[in-house]
Amino acid sequence: MNENQMSAAQYKHYLKTGKLVSEELLRKHDKAVSRFKQQEAEKALSEEKAPSESLKNTLQSYSKEYTFEICPVSAPRMSSSDRWKTGKDKRPIVAKYHDFKDYLRFLTKKQNYTVKPVLKIEFYVEMPKSWSKKKKREMSEMPHQQKPDIDNFLKAFLDTLCKEDKFVWNVHALKFWSYEPKIKVFE
């Protein structure tokens, strides 16, 4: 067989490997490669879902769990005027943040919770009402990978419950989509 009698696929294979092969063998090889790629894609997709389950199971293995039925709020960037503005003059995000702080303090006192130096926490963010029921079912308990950032949730939580949070030296925080917003803390 010379170069004129080879198909383009056979010629590419010959240039790559230096071996002459039949069209049928090349088709089998291409099918095997596409099957392998599909399996790898499915494996990667399943691994994306698996870490959230394993991380949640790790956190839930702690002895004590506190659940606060409150919608997590991120700490806003405060301006100097936010300190003295009151009532209608307050920016809505700042008013929402102060309401969150007040209610979280109430809930933590009710459950007798105090922040420990090692903090293990999960934030459950409510899914948008505009999502379909199908999408909500798919996304429930899945990692929340959008804004607001987890560090802003954590900052709001710690600023609410600690005058000085410098004693907290280890933090393990996760955030998930949920039907009902809440914050869970594990000890």
Helices and strands: H and E segment counts in the chain: 5, 4
Tell me the whole-structure pTM to 2 decimals.
0.62
Domains recognised in the chain with CATH numbers? 3-51 (no CATH), 62-186 (3.30.1330)
What are the structure tokens assigned to 170, written together?
Answer: 């280890």
- Which range among 27-36, 44-53, 94-103, 115-124 has the greatest average pLDDT? 115-124
Q: What is the pLDDT of residue 115?
A: 84
User: How many CA atoms lie less than 13 Å away from 103 in the CB half-sphere?
Assistant: 14
pLDDT at 161: 84
Q: Do residues 182 and 70 lie in contact, with contact meaning Cβ atoms separated by under 8 Å?
A: yes
Whether residue 57 has pLDDT greater than 60: no
Q: Please provide the average confidence, as pLDDT, over all residues in the chain.
A: 75
Q: What angle do CA 167, 173, 174 make, to 5 degrees?
A: 170
On the question of pLDDT at 40 being above 60, the answer is: yes
Name which of 40-54, 107-121, 155-169 the model is least confident about. Answer: 40-54
| CB distance 48 to 34 below 8 Å | no
